[in-house]
Amino acid sequence: MPLIEINFDGIVGPSHNYAGLSLGNLASTRNAGQVSQPRHAALEGVDKMRANLALGLSQGIFLPGPRPDRRWLAELGTTIEQAEPALAANAMSASAMWAANAATVSPGPDTADGRCHLTVANLRTMPHRSHEWPATLAQLRVAFGSDAFAVHDPIPPAFGDEGAANHMRLAPAYGEPGVEIFVYGISGGAFPARQSIEASKAIARLHELDPERTIFAAQSEDAIAAGAFHNDVVAVANQHVLFAHEKAFADKAALIEQCGAQVPGFEFVEVPDRDVPLSDAVSSYLFNGQLVSPPGGETTLIVPSEARENASVWKWIERHIAGNGPIRRVEVVDVRESMANGGGPACLRLRVVADPATVDPRFMVDDARLDWIADVIRRHWPEQIHNDELQSEALIRYIESARAALLEALDLAQLL
């Protein structure tokens, strides 16, 4: 079977809560302390995957990690019951649901050995995410355990790596050799730049990429200051199309020149700041949509409902679709629980170009399998979580048993 793009979505975990732990993520900070709805959030995610399947896309899943992370707390000399509230909140975070941060992926056509390479992200910038990688790595090694893949340990934590959220790929088609773009941050402002150029270069070497087809581009400080904590908040690429805000990159002209020289049929779709200010782009997550190519061939943008509710954003989308631009279709999905915590449709998925037959089938889904997952969620996920109950013994038991029920239902109890 030819290589295709598979979207692996993170199932929203039963500990989904609003603790406001992510500095620089404006939605996370703004909604700190609100009552979360884990069951509804997870079902929103399932519905998003159903919408992808309806478009004819191939769909996979990643499972929630163990929460609370008792191993991590033990390394800190404490337990979930005894930890200070702020530390307990970090151990209960469900942020692994944003699978775009799981790893950086280089498909086989780009690598010297012809295998698809994945490097799990260390996520060392934020404490609540820094302990995700062991559970994520365990899943990657099961899901991508065939000889078609090479799965790498994280980059040493001296260098921050946030995974595919700061990585883009351009190619004439998914199965053809492409150009890989690593976007790193340099910040002198109030918010940290999370992706280091050192980590990006190390991943490119580990993945055995051709230096002539590898680009390192700096994110603009304006974008970081506006709340674009990851590049995928202001830019997204698919096949030969790069879709970005005018202020996404520090040196836009150089990036466009490199892409134009190396990608046949390259098209750059820019949203001017005068039409959609950075603040609107960030709050609506226009660029954190999924830019995809369904079997019919129409480049399609999947955006959150917040994009439709933002006047400047929706006006730009309607004008582009009505014209003769590369993006021919827009689909709207409701992922409000994820959006309120700072993650849009693109945050929820990791793109892997591969032959689906080489992936462990337990990580692939169709509508029937999603029905099965939704049933587990309805029966086991908490309906609500108040932040002041994160150390409640009853809630902790509820969360741990819910995750165990899902893994057992999917025949993945080995990941418990």
- Would you name the residues annotated as active-site residues? 162, 230, 347
Among 238, 278, 274, CA closest to 259: 238
Q: Per the structure block, which two tokens stand in for 335? A: 């992922």
Encode 52-82: b = buried (16+ Cβ within 10 Å), e = exposed. Answer: beebebbbbbbbbbbbbbeebbeeeebebee
Distance in angstroms (rounded) separating the CA atoms of residues 210 and 201: 12
| 3-state DSSP percent of the chain in helix, strand and coil, to 5 | 40, 20, 40
Distance in angstroms (rounded) separating the CA atoms of residues 21 and 38: 17
Eight-state DSSP code of residue 362: G
Amino acid at 152: H
Contact 234, 245 (CB under 8 A): yes
Give the torsion through C-alpha atoms of 303, 185, 69, 402, to 10 deg.
10
Distance in angstroms (rounded) separating the CA atoms of residues 231 and 194: 10
Secondary element (H or E) of residue 183 = strand 179-184
Contact 107, 353 (CB under 8 A): yes
